[in-house]
């Protein structure tokens, strides 16, 4: 073999190796871009006349690592799909922008029946939707290979050391949009994969789950913190005598926890009273605001209906209130037992609290229309989110001590 022939063969081998490497890298890149969107609560849509059943066949889990395999038409690319994990309603939704219903009337979908309960397709004006009801709240990841969307499911319960459920209030007397923005800002402060704490939201839009659905989600996922977030224009001061009367109703093992709340409330109120003028001046100076300043008030509600040993609901609520006072510089109105005995807080058996924020500068219409354009309002929510995130992290440390 001549030297020239050897050079040619070497060049061919190098070229083939380079092409193979490029194809692998491109494939790997496409796989990474095939993301699954997490969706909070969404109301179930009524089935229309365009709905049809999918033909299912049991997947052989002994030979396949996947729990759901969905065939796709030839020439379909990853950008033609959008996958949503509706974890509150335990449903996986695959939206196919170029899908044909006749294809899925003829082809079989492979399912692990121990995880997938039922499935159906629905032809809409601009896309085809495939919906799969799941047996549990699952995390999932997807591959797009060999003409199949292949998905693996793993239970959310036990996947993280801690789970926090943030519940942005959507009640009529609150600013639902600002409450949601506050919750989203807290989630954005977390670092998935690094933090041992994972956050879930009860809603991402106008639809909100019922208290029963929230409680069921907490029980199934093993969430250990519940925090309701309520942003209002103004908070009314709580009468101290009414608070004392409400706390004195606690009996047995709950009595000691209520007394701790009274002591912590008194300390917080004393500190707030002593530093109110200095805090107001500092807030105005920091905000660079001319004329009358914007004082943000914070109050935290807790439940005395369930006793948690050592670090209970009173201590958890106090951690949240102290974080808003010390970290965010808000005016602390103190702790209060949730006055509504039928509220979700009184039916939970985990650490739970409701944080209420109010300020005369949090105009409802302004917040909803252009919060991102209003530096003052944006700064308030950023401070609140950072303080509450820090408070949640501290609550786990304090509970372990």
For residue 111, pLDDT over 70 is answered with: yes
Contact (CB, 8 A) for 153 and 138: yes
Find the Cα–Cα–Cα–Cα dihedral 363, 365, 367, 372, rounded to 10°.
-130
pLDDT band at 280; cut points 50, 70, 90:
very low
- In this structure, of 103-107, 162-166, 186-190, 238-242, the range with the lowest mean pLDDT score is 238-242
- Check residue 36 and give its pLDDT: 81
For residue 127, pLDDT over 90 is answered with: no
What is the average pLDDT across 226-242?
73
In terms of Cβ atoms closer than 10 Å to its own Cβ (0-12, 13-18, 19+), residue 65 is exposed
Contact (CB, 8 A) for 231 and 186: no
pLDDT band at 19; cut points 50, 70, 90:
low
- Check residue 245 and give its pLDDT: 41
pLDDT band at 33; cut points 50, 70, 90:
very low
Sign of CA dihedral 112, 115, 120, 126: negative
pLDDT band at 4; cut points 50, 70, 90:
low
Cα distance between residue 400 and residue 311, in whole Å: 9
Cα distance between residue 383 and residue 386, in whole Å: 5
- Number of continuous H segments (helices) and E segments (strands) in the chain: 9, 17
Helix (H) or strand (E) holding 148, with range, is strand 148-155
pLDDT digits (tens, 9 = 90+) for 77-96: 888 889 999 999 999 999 98
pLDDT digits (tens, 9 = 90+) for 290-330: 334 678 999 999 999 999 999 999 999 999 999 999 999 99
For residue 22, pLDDT over 50 is answered with: no
- Check residue 257 and give its pLDDT: 52
- Check residue 283 and give its pLDDT: 45
In CATH, the architecture of 162-400 is 3-Layer(aba) Sandwich (3.40)
Tokens, residue 74:
């030839």
For residue 99, pLDDT over 70 is answered with: no
Contact (CB, 8 A) for 262 and 302: no
Contacts of 359 (CB under 8 A, 6+ apart): 233, 234, 294, 295, 296, 297, 380
- Check residue 286 and give its pLDDT: 47
326: nearest Cα among 255, 395, 383, 249: 383
- Check residue 370 and give its pLDDT: 52
- Check residue 13 and give its pLDDT: 53
367: nearest Cα among 208, 166, 231: 231
* Mean pLDDT over each residue of the chain, to the nearest integer: 80
Contacts of 251 (CB under 8 A, 6+ apart): none
CA distances from 274 to 240, 322, 333 (A): 17, 15, 13
Helix (H) or strand (E) holding 213, with range, is helix 211-221
Cα distance between residue 144 and residue 78, in whole Å: 7
Which of 237-241, 286-290, 392-396 holds the top average pLDDT?
Answer: 392-396
pLDDT digits (tens, 9 = 90+) for 198-227: 999 999 888 889 999 999 999 999 999 999
Tokens, residue 1:
């073999």
- Check residue 166 and give its pLDDT: 98
Listed by start position, the domains of the chain span 36-155, 162-400
- Check residue 277 and give its pLDDT: 39
Contact (CB, 8 A) for 119 and 56: yes
């Amino acid at each position: 073999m001549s030297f020239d022939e050897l050079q040619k063969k070497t060049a061919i081998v190098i070229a083939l190796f380079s092409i193979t490497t490029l194809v692998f890298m491109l494939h790997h890149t496409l796989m990474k871009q095939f993301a699954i969107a997490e969706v909070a609560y969404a109301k179930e849509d009524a089935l229309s006349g365009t709905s049809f059943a999918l033909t299912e066949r049991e997947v052989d889990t002994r030979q396949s690592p996947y729990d759901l395999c969905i065939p796709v038409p030839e020439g379909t690319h990853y950008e033609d799909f959008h996958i949503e994990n509706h974890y509150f309603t335990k449903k996986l939704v695959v939206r196919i922008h170029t899908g044909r219903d006749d294809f899925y009337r003829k082809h079989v979908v492979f399912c692990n029946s121990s995880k997938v309960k039922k499935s159906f397709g629905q032809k809409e004006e601009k896309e085809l939707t495939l919906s799969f009801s799941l047996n549990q709240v699952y995390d999932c990841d997807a591959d797009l290979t060999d003409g199949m969307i292949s998905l693996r499911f793993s239970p959310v319960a036990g996947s993280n050391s801690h789970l926090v459920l943030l519940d942005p209030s959507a009640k009529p007397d609150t600013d639902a949009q600002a409450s949601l923005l506050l919750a989203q800002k807290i989630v954005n402060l977390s670092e998935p994969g690094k933090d041992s704490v994972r956050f879930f939201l009860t809603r991402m839009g106008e639809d909100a789950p019922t208290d029963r659905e929230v409680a069921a989600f907490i029980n199934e996922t093993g969430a250990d913190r519940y925090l309701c977030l309520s942003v209002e224009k103004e908070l009314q001061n709580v009468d101290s005598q009414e608070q004392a009367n409400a706390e004195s109703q606690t009996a047995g093992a709950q009595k000691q926890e209520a007394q701790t709340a009274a002591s912590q409330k008194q300390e917080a109120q004393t500190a707030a009273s002593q530093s109110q003028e200095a805090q107001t001046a500092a807030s105005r100076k920091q905000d660079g605001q001319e004329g009358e300043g914007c004082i943000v008030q914070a109050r935290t509600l807790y439940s005395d209906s369930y006793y948690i040993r050592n670090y209970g609901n009173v201590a958890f609520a106090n951690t949240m209130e102290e974080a808003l006072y010390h970290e965010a510089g808000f005016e602390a109105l103190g702790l209060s037992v949730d006055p509504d005995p039928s509220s979700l807080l009184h039916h939970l058996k985990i650490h739970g609290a409701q944080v209420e924020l109010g300020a005369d500068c949090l105009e409802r219409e302004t917040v909803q229309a252009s919060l991102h354009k209003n530096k003052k309002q944006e700064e308030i929510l950023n401070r609140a989110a950072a303080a509450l995130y820090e408070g949640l992290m501290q609550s786990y440390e304090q509970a372990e001590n």
